[in-house]
């Protein structure tokens, strides 16, 4: 046992206590940093030196404390849970937001909705029936028909612009995804290098964790540890990031609602054109589901389905009104006239227009029943009544959208709750607790004081030995 | 379980957010006074609300139709009442003129002149209009039901009628057929002779010294036709009145339905709002107390 061995032990304790205070400092400094995972100094005791040589013998104390490293107190299972929950929440949130926008664009139930305009339209026919051949009633009918077609155009345009908006959001989401993938690959490379040189990778891991969570909430991508500090991020079973290389995704397909049926929007690997990526969830999958074309059975993308419903409504309105209107005669005696017509090259909901420009094109009366007859106008007003009327089918459509929106909102709410629960479970385990850090700080401070006391004790002993030995009686 | 201030802040924020959400929903309801602000609030009730509003709008329109029909009917009815009075006078004069034994040609001429002026009054009544439409000529747009000069041509068509819709399945005729009230025939010997041609014939016969007692029967036939039309018009007016009452009842019950679907229960919403406000304030107060202290505050 060396004379100075105790000094070294005390020194190692001083260093460890200082290092501990430094780690506490880092934790406290990052108490509000997003994605920061708390760190702990991990130390171990150093045993006594092996007893070899002539004067060995007896027991001796250990040689102090060794700083093994700075541990990152993350929990991979909680991290994985956060990723899964955010993938589901991201998927449902995009859908529920789109459904909310869609149902708000209907303006139902209210005076601005299509149902109210339709009711006014039928009432205008009834008024014309009462005042057949009178310019005021004719002008009122034409004005109301114009308001109705404008409302149908407006609904379709709202669907179109909502589709374009989701489409451009999808573009920025893909951009964010590609950026995140490239940065994960970059971090992978830096982490591998730092591990090889023995440095601390905790902060790099925090950053990478944030990025993989972003990728998961965008695409539902899963993370696989490759063992050398790097991770692989998989989307639909294929790696978007593997080691230090990242692949890019891109969107193909229509950029406007009009082309959606011909060229469905999908995401594919940049280096493998023509092969759509099977997404497991996430907001990109949600956006693609909303952008899907209508499929004729009502199970396609909600926006395109709504647009198809508007088209169907416009076509049925024109068909029903024209069928009756053709039987009628104008005050001038003309028959076989259409009331609604369609502009060529436009979807029905956008192309529907009112054909007559003045009363001479309105056939309010039955042929041969006198010029002031209003029986055809009355029959047209009657189209709004009945079990299979346009009003009823519109109410059913609104109700259907309402049910879909309600379901999506509820599901999204549940997913948000689950995601928040996963997030706070992760935060509970990984975030910095000020109380804990205060206690740690106190502990290390006291440890430092203790080590200093040991040092001064040894110093006094040596002083006694060196300066005061052999001074008896002097 | 380990709790950190960050986790607490996060969950406190979430709870406050949820409280705010509920508060804003209730505020929406209280300020708009509507239980359904968008379809997803209650999809089934939304569809019902749309249907009920459609029925209400249709009912309003039926009421307008009935009001318009009432205007027509009132015009027809008052015209027919005047026509009956005029016809009574025509009949009196004809009876008077038929007693030709004691009557000078001057007196007969006076009767003939009065008859002609009665004919003009009858013509004016036959051409009565409501809002610019002749009420005895169906859907004609000729402006007059009967020409003012012989042969007093009728501009309407007997089969045409002016109908007003009083509910989804029923229409009511609101005009009267001028041809059956006044007649359109020109042959003075037939029963179908128009009342104007008949009066002309009577006046001519009086002047010519022919006895007109034969014509009284024809006048009676015509007056019978007029009374018949009066009865029909009265029955239709009763129908309109009945429809009006039914509509009123239906409108009240529809409004109750609409209100039941769409309107909020104000007392409940205000109570809920108060409770929610208290909850929110409590949450704020508790959060501000809980989040502040850490061990840092107590160590030195």
What are the angstrom distances between the C-alpha of A96 and each of A396, A411, B128? 20, 8, 64
What are the angstrom distances between the C-alpha of A431 and each of A69, A426, A456, B289? 19, 8, 38, 21
Nearest CA to B181 among B225, B147, B151?
B225
Query: Do A392 and B51 count as a contact with CB atoms less than 8 A apart?
Result: yes
Give the whole-number percent of chain B exceeding pLDDT 70: 99
Contacts of A258 (CB under 8 A, 6+ apart): A160, A347
Q: How far apart are CA B130 and CA B133, in angstroms?
A: 5
Nearest CB partner across the interface for B40, out of A131, A392, A406: A406
* Whole-complex ipTM: 0.85
What are the angstrom distances between the C-alpha of B143 and each of A138, A366, B81, B179? 19, 20, 22, 16
Per CB-CB distance under 8 Å, the chain A contacts of B262 are 109
Output the tens digit of pLDDT for each of chain A's 474 residues.
577 778 999 999 999 999 999 999 999 999 889 889 999 999 999 988 777 776 666 777 888 999 999 999 988 899 999 999 999 999 999 999 999 999 999 988 888 889 999 999 999 999 999 988 889 999 999 999 999 999 999 999 999 999 999 999 999 999 999 999 999 999 999 999 999 998 889 999 999 999 999 999 999 999 999 888 899 999 988 999 998 999 999 999 999 998 888 889 999 999 888 888 888 889 999 999 999 998 888 788 899 999 999 999 999 999 999 999 999 998 888 889 999 999 999 999 999 999 999 888 999 888 888 888 888 999 999 888 877 888 988 999 999 999 999 999 999 999 999 999 999 889 888 999 888 899 999 999 999 999 999 999 999 999 998 888 887 776
Tell me, what's the pLDDT at B212?
A: 86
If DSSP states are collapsed to H, E and C, what string results for B187-215?
Answer: CCCCCCECHHHHHHHHHHHHHHCCCCCCH
Start-end of H helices in A202-301 = 202-219, 282-291
Neighbours of A255 (CB within 10 A): 15
Per CB-CB distance under 8 Å, the chain A contacts of B54 are 115, 118-119, 384, 391, 395
Per DSSP, the three-state class of A370 is coil
Q: How far apart are CA B21 and CA A457, in angstroms?
A: 65
Nearest CB partner across the interface for A435, out of B50, B163, B295: B295
What is the CATH superfamily name and number for domain B52-258? f41 fragment of flagellin, N-terminal domain (1.20.1330.10)
Query: How distant is the Cα of B121 from the closest Cα of chain A, in angstroms?
Result: 26
Q: How far apart are CA B53 and CA B158, in angstroms?
A: 39
Domain ranges of chain B: 52-258
Contacts of A451 (CB under 8 A, 6+ apart): A10, A11, A13, A14, A17
Query: Do A126 and B165 count as a contact with CB atoms less than 8 A apart?
Result: yes
Q: What is the mean pLDDT of residues B258-272?
A: 89
Tell me, what's the pLDDT at A455?
A: 93
Q: How far apart are CA A123 and CA A126, in angstroms?
A: 5
Tell me, what's the pLDDT at B1?
A: 75
Per CB-CB distance under 8 Å, the chain B contacts of A365 are 139
Burial of A230 per CB tally in 10 Å (0-12, 13-18, 19+): buried
Does pLDDT of B300 surpass 70? no
Q: What is the mean pLDDT of residues B139-163?
A: 85
Query: Do A126 and B296 count as a contact with CB atoms less than 8 A apart?
Result: no
Query: How distant is the Cα of A398 from the closest Cα of chain B, in angstroms?
Result: 7
Per CB-CB distance under 8 Å, the chain A contacts of B135 are none
Burial of A23 per CB tally in 10 Å (0-12, 13-18, 19+): buried
Backbone angles phi, psi at B286, to 5 degrees: -65, -45
Nearest CB partner across the interface for B295, out of A132, A392, A434: A434
Nearest CA to A400 among A302, A289, A295?
A302
Per DSSP, the three-state class of A39 is strand
Tell me, what's the pLDDT at A68?
A: 92
Neighbours of A214 (CB within 10 A): 22
> In chain A, what's the furthest Cα-to-Cα distance?
151
Query: Do A403 and B43 count as a contact with CB atoms less than 8 A apart?
Result: yes
Which secondary structure element, helix H or strand E, spans residue B246, and what is its range?
helix B215-262
Q: What is the full DSSP assignment across B40-83? A: GG-HHHHHHHHHHHHHHHHHHHHHHHHHHHHHHHHHHHHHHHHH
Q: How far apart are CA B11 and CA B17, in angstroms?
A: 10
Query: How distant is the Cα of A240 from the closest Cα of chain B, in angstroms?
Result: 32
CB A207 within 8 Å of CB A187: yes
Query: Do A130 and B171 count as a contact with CB atoms less than 8 A apart?
Result: no
Structure tokens at A50: 């092996």
Query: How distant is the Cα of B152 from the closest Cα of chain A, in angstroms?
Result: 19
Query: Do A385 and B58 count as a contact with CB atoms less than 8 A apart?
Result: yes
Does pLDDT of B80 surpass 90? yes
What are the angstrom distances between the C-alpha of B129 and each of A266, B132, B137, B142, B216? 69, 5, 10, 12, 30
Residue with tokens 């001038």: A332
pTM of the model as a whole: 0.85
Query: Do B61 and A126 count as a contact with CB atoms less than 8 A apart?
Result: yes
Question: Distance of alpha carbon A306 from its chain centroid, rounded?
Answer: 22
Query: Do A399 and B49 count as a contact with CB atoms less than 8 A apart?
Result: no
Which residue of A130, A206, A313, A428 is the best one to mutate when testing the B interface, meaning the one whose CB has the most B CBs within 10 A? Answer: A130
Per CB-CB distance under 8 Å, the chain A contacts of B138 are 370, 372
CB B171 within 8 Å of CB B152: no
Tell me, what's the pLDDT at A193?
A: 93
Which secondary structure element, helix H or strand E, spans residue A345, and what is its range?
none
Residue with tokens 């406050």: B16
Structure tokens at A328: 């009628």
């Amino acid at each position: 046992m060396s004379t100075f061995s105790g000094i070294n032990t005390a020194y190692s304790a001083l260093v460890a206590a200082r290092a501990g205070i430094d780690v506490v400092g880092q934790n406290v400094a990052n108490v509000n940093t997003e994605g920061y995972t708390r760190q702990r100094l991990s130390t171990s005791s150093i045993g006594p030196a092996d007893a070899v040589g002539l004067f060995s013998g007896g027991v001796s104390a250990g040689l102090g404390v060794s700083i093994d490293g700075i541990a990152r107190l993350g929990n991979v299972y909680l991290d994985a849970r956060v990723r899964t929950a955010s993938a589901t929440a991201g998927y449902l949130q995009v859908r529920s937001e789109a459904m909310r926008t869609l149902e708000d664009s209907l303006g139902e139930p209210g005076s601005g909705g299509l149902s109210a305009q339709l009711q006014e339209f039928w009432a205008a026919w009834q008024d014309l029936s009462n005042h057949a051949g009178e310019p005021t009633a004719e002008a009122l009918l034409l004005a109301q028909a114009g308001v109705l077609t404008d409302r149908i155009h407006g609904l379709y345009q709202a669907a179109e612009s909502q589709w374009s908006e989701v489409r451009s959001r999808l573009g920025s989401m893909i951009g964010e995804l590609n950026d995140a993938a490239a940065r994960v690959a970059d971090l992978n490379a830096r982490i591998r290098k730092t591990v090889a040189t023995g440095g601390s990778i905790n902060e790099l891991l925090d950053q990478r964790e944030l990025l993989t969570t972003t990728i998961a909430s965008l695409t539902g991508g899963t993370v696989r540890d490759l063992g050398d500090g790097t991770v692989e991020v998989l989307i639909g079973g294929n790696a978007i990031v593997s080691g230090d290389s990242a692949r890019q995704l891109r969107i193909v397909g229509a950029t406007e609602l009009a082309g959606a049926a011909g060229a469905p929007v999908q995401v594919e690997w940049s280096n493998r054109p023509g092969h759509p990526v099977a997404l497991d969830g996430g907001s990109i999958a949600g956006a693609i589901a909303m952008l899907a074309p209508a499929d004729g059975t009502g199970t396609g993308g909600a926006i395109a389905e709504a647009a198809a419903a508007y088209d169907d409504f416009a076509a049925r309105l024109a068909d029903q009104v024209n069928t009756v209107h053709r039987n009628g005669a104008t005050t001038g005696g003309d028959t076989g006239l259409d009331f609604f017509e369609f502009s060529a090259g436009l979807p029905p909901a956008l192309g529907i227009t009112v054909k007559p420009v003045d009363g001479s094109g309105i056939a309010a009366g039955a042929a041969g029943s006198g010029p002031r007859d209003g029986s055809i106008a009355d029959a047209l007003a009657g189209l709004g009544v009945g079990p299979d009327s346009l009003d009823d089918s519109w109410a059913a459509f609104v109700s259907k959208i309402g049910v879909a929106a309600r379901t999506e909102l509820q599901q999204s709410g549940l997913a948000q709750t689950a995601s928040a629960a996963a997030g706070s479970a992760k935060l509970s385990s990984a975030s910095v607790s000020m109380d804990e850090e205060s206690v740690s700080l106190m502990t290390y401070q006291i440890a430092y004081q203790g080590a200093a006391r040991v040092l001064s004790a040894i110093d006094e002993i040596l002083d006694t030995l060196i300066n005061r030995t052999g001074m008896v009686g002097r | 379980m380990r709790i950190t201030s960050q986790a607490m802040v996060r969950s406190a924020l979430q709870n406050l957010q949820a409280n705010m959400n509920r508060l804003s929903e209730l505020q929406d309801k209280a300020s708009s006074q509507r239980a359904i602000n968008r379809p997803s609030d209650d999809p089934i009730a939304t569809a019902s609300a749309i249907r009920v509003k459609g029925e209400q709008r249709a009912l309003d329109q039926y009421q307008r139709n009935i009001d318009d029909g009432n205007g027509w009917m009132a015009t027809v009815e008052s015209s027919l009442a005047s026509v009956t009075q005029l016809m009574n006078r025509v009949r009196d004069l004809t009876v008077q003129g038929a007693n030709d034994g004691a009557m000078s040609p001057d007196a007969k001429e006076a009767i003939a002149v009065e008859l002609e002026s009665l004919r003009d009054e009858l013509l004016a009544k036959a051409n009565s209009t409501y809002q610019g439409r002749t009420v005895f000529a169906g859907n004609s747009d000729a402006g007059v039901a009967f020409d003012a000069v012989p042969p007093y041509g009728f501009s309407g068509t007997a089969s045409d009628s002016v109908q007003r819709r009083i509910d989804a399945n029923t229409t009511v005729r609101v005009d009267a057929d001028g041809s059956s009230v006044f007649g359109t025939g020109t042959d003075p010997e037939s029963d179908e002779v128009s009342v104007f041609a008949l009066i002309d014939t009577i006046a001519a016969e009086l002047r010519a010294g022919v006895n007109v007692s034969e014509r009284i029967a024809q006048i009676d036939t015509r007056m019978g036709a007029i009374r018949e039309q009066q009865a029909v018009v009265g029955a239709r007016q009763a129908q309109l009145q009945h429809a009006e009452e039914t509509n009123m009842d239906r409108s009240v019950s529809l409004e109750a339905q609409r209100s039941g679907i769409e309107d909020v229960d104000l007392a409940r919403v205000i109570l809920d709002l108060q409770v929610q406000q208290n909850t929110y304030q409590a949450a704020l107060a508790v959060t501000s107390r809980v989040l502040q202290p850490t061990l840092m505050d107590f160590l030195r």
